[in-house]
Amino acid sequence: MLKITREQIGRLIKLQQIETDKKRIKATLENLPDQLAELDTGLDRAEKAVNNKKTLLKDYEQKYRSYESDTEINRTKIKKSEEKLGFAKNNKEYQSSLKEIHELKNKNSKIEDDMIECLDRAEEIERDIKSRKEDYNKIGKKINIEKNIIKNQAKNDEHKLLELHAERANIIESVQKDLIEKFFIIQKKQTNGIAIAKAKNSICYGCNMNIPPQMYNDLQRCDSLKFCPFCDRILYWEQEKTDNAV
């Protein structure tokens, strides 16, 4: 049976705190590239939205030019038909040219309506692009700020990690060797890396199981190392509060 003191247990609790903090900080730092990439994804999406609208605008501009050239062709045809009017040999030819001119003018009138609609739509898209560009700039600025915050946090985390590392080394040196060895063996076996758990109100806070009464009494003396019979973690006793607070 390993003899212990409250002080030694206190150091193990501190060591556990350091181990947990280190794990959390390391996970945050490991997640850093993903976090930054995720922010860039937001900006990429905004850029894509602008580009999609630009493509749509080009389609409408092309459509407009095509209408323009159609009306131009029709106008040339109208001119020719009007010339033909002057050379009509009889009424039939005359009427036929008139009909042609009428039909071509009708066609052009329809196309011109479409052109107006096309222009309206293009203007609408241009406004949309402008507002999306503003969004893009806003997002870009916001992302830069967020990136700086994350990077600063990472710097702090790295610094904190170094501090924890030094503190950890000090604690390891100040605790008896066999106790430390036991601590790390148990830690390795626990999926959450928690090697030491408090026992309070007869419950192991590592696994939430009830500790046998005799063991719970022994724990309160804090003179030998005790393990939870269910989760194998090192146990330490924490005094119950009178208000039953957990």
Contact with Zn ion (CB under 5 A) among 118, 231, 236, 237: 231
Which one, 78 or 219, has the nearer CB to Zn ion? 219
Question: Please, are residues 238 and 198 in contact by the beta-carbon 8 Å criterion?
Answer: yes
Contact 50, 127 (CB under 8 A): no
User: How many residues lie near Zn ion (CB under 5 A)?
Assistant: 6
CA–CA separation, 172 vs 86, rounded Å?
A: 112
Any contact of residue 228 with Zn ion (CB under 5 A)?
A: yes
Pair of tokens at residue 103: 């039909």
- Give the number of residues written for the chain: 246
Choosing from 154, 161, 207, 222, the residue that interacts with Zn ion (CB under 5 A) is: 207
Based on the shown chain and the rule CB under 5 A, indicate whether residue 205 belongs to the binding site for Zn ion: no
* Region near Zn ion per CB under 5 A, out of 3-11, 61-69, 104-112, 220-228: 220-228
Give me the DSSP letters along 163-174: HHHHHHHHHHHH
CB 234 within 8 A of CB 189: no
Residue (18 or 231) nearer to Zn ion, CB: 231
Using DSSP's 3-state secondary structure scheme, residue 232 falls into coil
Is 204 an interacting residue with respect to Zn ion (CB under 5 A)?
yes
CB nearer to Zn ion: give 64 or 236: 236
Q: Which two tokens stand for residue 196?
A: 């030491």
C-beta of 67 vs 236, nearer to Zn ion: 236
Q: Which residues bind Zn ion (CB under 5 A)?
A: 204, 206-207, 228, 230-231
